């Protein structure tokens, strides 16, 4: 060993020892913080499915590749990181001797070829990612980007480290070529040979380049170990467990979409008949009341801002960004952790758990963090501003986009649950809706005996459950479908089409009550359970004696469709629920409904969040429209998975929109820009929001917002009077 190799070996060993020690300390710290969360036993089921999903999502980059160029570039960088870690290992042999290499595989041409290819693709990938980050930097002319609020130096730092490590990989090889100690043939390693052609014949060159590569790599490890909240780096490790432990691993996408998680205390679902707010946790009031998976979610965020770029609240000037919300929770959790790990925290009655002696050695910052309210205004030192919490429409665009499967909607609703159930703190205008739900069983407060009024004037009898011996579908009308004037037209259109197609169906009539969706999304789990249990009982009775496949329900409201199909199972109600557009598509394709007169003037379709993203029904409404309209459907730029919310979900329908641009106006502008005369929808709330938006633009005479069912009815029964214009919202 020459003197140069003695120096390079000592340097490599010293910096590696420091980096590894710091990394072990950082990992232990992170594990300790994540373990502060509440139990989540359901995350340990289906381990084989979980492992498969994790492998498919990471190795296949299935979620990342939804953004083609970024996804492909990131895939090369990820593969480069994994495979080229072997070359970092090889550098430890090269600092000892410049001709050194990995034992066994370090002499295989296949290894030389594979690492050469991955090195080149990794270089291209990282340059693309760097260019994208620069092009989208928040400080660029033109304003906000998906990186607004991300810690930009961390992103640049990680990217430069990757770039330099890759470059030095080729420099080491180049010195071996230049000194004639390179084992791989030119055909397998042309780039290394090209680099070698311009480097001097310096015997110690490979050792010096190798120690630089190790110093760069270990500097990265030291920096990320000193910054445990540096998700842009740590996600390389944390993404694997975060995806493994996601809520519903078998779901193809958006594990945190569809059903909400039940309210849990100590990892067990809460039943309000027995729950006690002094013993059971009602929602989340403190960051440690999230489950450990929630804390893992916050730690894993890469700060990529994909969620932010799609969020309707953020895009219309509200203070909510799902990314910034996650980052605030992460930073708060890690800053509060020393206080919690010392035994601090509040019990369910609000009393401090730690003794003065336990907290005596803590620094003031950790103590101050422990005192911060989780929800509170900036003046009160709150971590999450109430305006942030209540701006969410639960549209799920963030969950859909997140490449590491963070479950934003669950976390937002968990925080709402505490605010509503314990603090009674929520936008006051929503109080009317909640009172109406409790007292009248519908958000409008309409009398229950008017639930069947929509049937008046139809030229056929609408059968009620109990009046007919048998029926194939139970037609779940929903509160909007029964009481709201626009939605009543959809209800009548669907009933007419079902009757026309000879489908045997029946309604519950006055036996139906609100599905509970608005109560659940606003955080009032108590009212949700009350309504849902009542409905489950009614439905179980209606379907008595039938097995699940024959407990068929058709719903026109995607919120009811989602709640009945995905959430009633949590309360013992198992049903086969379809959306009316799915049933209509089937009836058309099977020849039971025949469109005869195409609807013209151009039609565009707005995907309701709870039909599309939350339940992945994208094709059926398009199939119905495809059969019923003249020409092709005109898609809006934001459609299907990336559709833009109408602004009514998450119980936002019953809250005032005081901040920023109105979400429905943003969506209507996009719809009107297509030039279509008809905006087709599949949800009564979307219908209301978009109709209001169109009318607000003074375009009510030129553009009509109607349900897919109405479009189909116009095509199937053109002779039927259809010209009713939207009436004002009832209630």
| Interface ranges with ligand SF4 (CB under 6 A) | 301-307, 310-313, 320, 322-323, 326, 392-398, 401-404, 406, 408-409
In degrees and rounded to multiples of 5, residue 579 shows phi and psi of -85, 150
CB of 404 to ligand SF4, least distance (A): 5
Give 566's contacts (C-beta < 8 A, 6+ positions apart).
258, 259, 615
Nearer to ligand SF4, 311 or 487 (CB): 311
Q: DSSP secondary-structure letter at 653?
A: G
Give the integer Cα–Cα distance in Å for 470 and 506.
Answer: 9
Instruction: State the distance between the two ends of the chain, measured CA to CA, in whole angstroms.
Output: 87
Asked if 644 and 572 touch (Cβ cutoff 8 Å), the reply is no
CB of 291 to ligand SF4, least distance (A): 17
Asked if 664 and 645 touch (Cβ cutoff 8 Å), the reply is no
| SS3 assignment, position 148 | coil
Nearer to ligand SF4, 179 or 291 (CB): 291
CB of 427 to ligand SF4, least distance (A): 15
Three-state SS sequence of 7-43? HHHHHHHHHHHHHHHHHHHHHHHHHHHHCCCECCHHH
Nearer to ligand SF4, 524 or 715 (CB): 524
Nearer to ligand SF4, 270 or 519 (CB): 519
Beta partners for residue 704, in sequence order: 678
Asked if 484 and 688 touch (Cβ cutoff 8 Å), the reply is yes
Give the integer Cα–Cα distance in Å for 246 and 226.
Answer: 27
Nearer to ligand SF4, 208 or 325 (CB): 325
Nearer to ligand SF4, 446 or 611 (CB): 611
Max CA-CA distance within the chain?
99
> Positive or negative CA dihedral for 47, 50, 56, 61?
negative
Beta partners for residue 506, in sequence order: 474
CB of 592 to ligand SF4, least distance (A): 37
CB of 321 to ligand SF4, least distance (A): 7
CB of 652 to ligand SF4, least distance (A): 9
CB of 558 to ligand SF4, least distance (A): 15
**What is the C-alpha R_g of the chain?**
30
Nearer to ligand SF4, 552 or 667 (CB): 667
Look-up of token digits 């190790």: 214
CB of 409 to ligand SF4, least distance (A): 5
Give the integer Cα–Cα distance in Å for 161 and 410.
Answer: 35
Nearer to ligand SF4, 298 or 473 (CB): 298
CB of 325 to ligand SF4, least distance (A): 7
Q: Where does 179-267 have alpha helices with state H? A: 190-198, 205-226, 231-244
**H or E segment at 476?**
strand 473-476
- CA distance readout (Å), 425 to 376, 441, 524: 11, 22, 11
CB of 406 to ligand SF4, least distance (A): 4
Look-up of token digits 């779901």: 251
| SS3 assignment, position 214 | helix
Nearer to ligand SF4, 313 or 366 (CB): 313
Nearer to ligand SF4, 106 or 149 (CB): 149
Nearer to ligand SF4, 147 or 454 (CB): 147
CB of 642 to ligand SF4, least distance (A): 11
| SS3 assignment, position 705 | strand
Residue 446 is encoded by which pair of tokens? Answer: 């309409």
Render 170-194 in DSSP notation, one character per residue: HHHHHHHHHTT---S-TTT-HHHHH
Nearer to ligand SF4, 33 or 388 (CB): 388
CB of 571 to ligand SF4, least distance (A): 24
């Amino acid at each position: 060993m020459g003197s140069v190799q003695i120096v390079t070996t000592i340097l490599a060993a010293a910096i590696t020892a420091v980096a590894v020690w710091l990394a072990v300390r950082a990992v232990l710290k992170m594990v300790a913080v994540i373990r502060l969360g509440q139990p989540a036993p359901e995350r340990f089921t289906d381990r084989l499915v979980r492992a498969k999903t994790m492998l498919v999502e990471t190795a296949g980059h299935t979620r990342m590749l939804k953004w083609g160029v970024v996804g492909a570039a990131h895939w090369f960088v990820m593969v480069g990181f994994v495979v080229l870690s072997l070359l970092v290992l090889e550098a430890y042999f090269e600092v000892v001797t410049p001709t050194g290499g990995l034992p066994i595989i370090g002499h295989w041409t296949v290894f030389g070829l594979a690492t050469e290819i991955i090195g080149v693709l990794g270089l291209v990938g990282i340059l693309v990612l760097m260019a994208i980050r620069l092009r989208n930097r928040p400080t660029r002319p033109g304003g906000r980007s998906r990186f607004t609020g991300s810690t930009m130096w961390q992103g640049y730092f990680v990217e430069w480290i990757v770039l330099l490590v890759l470059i030095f990989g080729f420099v080491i090889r180049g010195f071996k070529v230049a000194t004639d100690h390179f084992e791989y043939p030119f055909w397998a390693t042309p780039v290394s040979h090209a680099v070698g052609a311009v480097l001097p014949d310096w015997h110690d060159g490979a050792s010096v380049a190798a120690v630089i590569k190790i110093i760069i790599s270990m500097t990265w490890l030291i920096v990320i170990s000193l910054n445990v909240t540096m998700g842009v780096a740590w996600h390389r490790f944390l993404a694997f467990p975060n995806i493994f432990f996601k809520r519903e691993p078998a779901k193809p996408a958006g594990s945190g979409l569809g059903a909400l998680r039940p309210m849990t205390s100590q990892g067990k679902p809460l039943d309000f008949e027995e729950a006690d707010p002094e013993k059971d946790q009602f929602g989340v009031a403190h960051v440690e009341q999230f489950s450990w998976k929630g804390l893992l979610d916050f730690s894993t965020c890469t700060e990529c801002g994909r969620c932010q770029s799609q969020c309707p609240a953020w895009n219309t000037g509200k203070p909510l960004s799902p990314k910034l919300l996650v980052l605030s929770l992460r930073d708060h959790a890690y800053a509060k952790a020393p206080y919690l790990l010392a035994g601090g925290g509040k019990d369910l009655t609000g009393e401090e758990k730690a003794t003065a002696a336990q907290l005596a050695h803590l620094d003031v910052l950790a103590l101050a963090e422990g005192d911060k309210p989780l929800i509170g205004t900036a003046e009160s030192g709150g971590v999450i501003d109430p305006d942030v919490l209540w701006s969410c429409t639960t549209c799920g665009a963030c969950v859909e986009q997140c490449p590491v499967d963070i479950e934003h909607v669950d976390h937002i609703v968990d925080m709402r649950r505490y605010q509503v159930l314990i603090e009674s703190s929520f936008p006051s205008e929503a109080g009317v809706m909640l009172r109406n739900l409790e007292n009248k069983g519908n958000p409008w407060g309409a009398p229950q005996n008017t639930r069947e009024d929509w049937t008046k004037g139809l030229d056929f009898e609408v059968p009620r459950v109990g009046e007919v011996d048998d029926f194939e579908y139970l037609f779940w009308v929903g509160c909007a479908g029964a009481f709201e004037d626009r939605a009543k037209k959809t209800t009548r259109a669907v009933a007419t089409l079902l009757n026309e197609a000879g489908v045997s169906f029946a309604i519950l009539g006055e036996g139906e009550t609100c599905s509970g969706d608005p109560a659940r999304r606003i955080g009032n789990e108590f009212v949700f359970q009350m309504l849902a249990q009542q409905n489950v009982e009614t439905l179980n009775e209606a379907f008595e004696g039938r097995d699940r496949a024959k407990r068929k329900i058709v719903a026109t409201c995607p919120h009811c469709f989602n709640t009945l199909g995905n959430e009633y199972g949590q309360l013992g109600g198992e049903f086969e629920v379809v959306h009316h557009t799915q049933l209509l598509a089937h009836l058309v394709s099977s020849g039971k409904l025949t469109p005869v007169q195409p609807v013209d003037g151009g039609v565009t379709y707005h995907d309701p969040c709870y039909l599309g993203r939350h339940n992945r029904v994208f094709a059926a409404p398009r199939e119905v429209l495809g059969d019923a309209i003249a020409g092709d459907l005109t898609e809006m730029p934001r459609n299907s998975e990336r559709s833009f919310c109408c602004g009514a979900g998450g119980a936002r329908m019953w809250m005032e929109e005081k901040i920023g641009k109105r979400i429905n106006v943003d969506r209507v502008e996009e719809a009107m820009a297509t030039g279509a005369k008809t905006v087709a929808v599949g949800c009564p709330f979307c219908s209301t929001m978009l109709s209001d938006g169109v009318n607000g633009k003074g375009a009510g005479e030129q553009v009509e917002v109607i349900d897919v069912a109405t479009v189909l009815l116009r095509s199937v029964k053109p002779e039927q009077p259809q010209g009713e214009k939207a009436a004002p919202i009832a209630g």
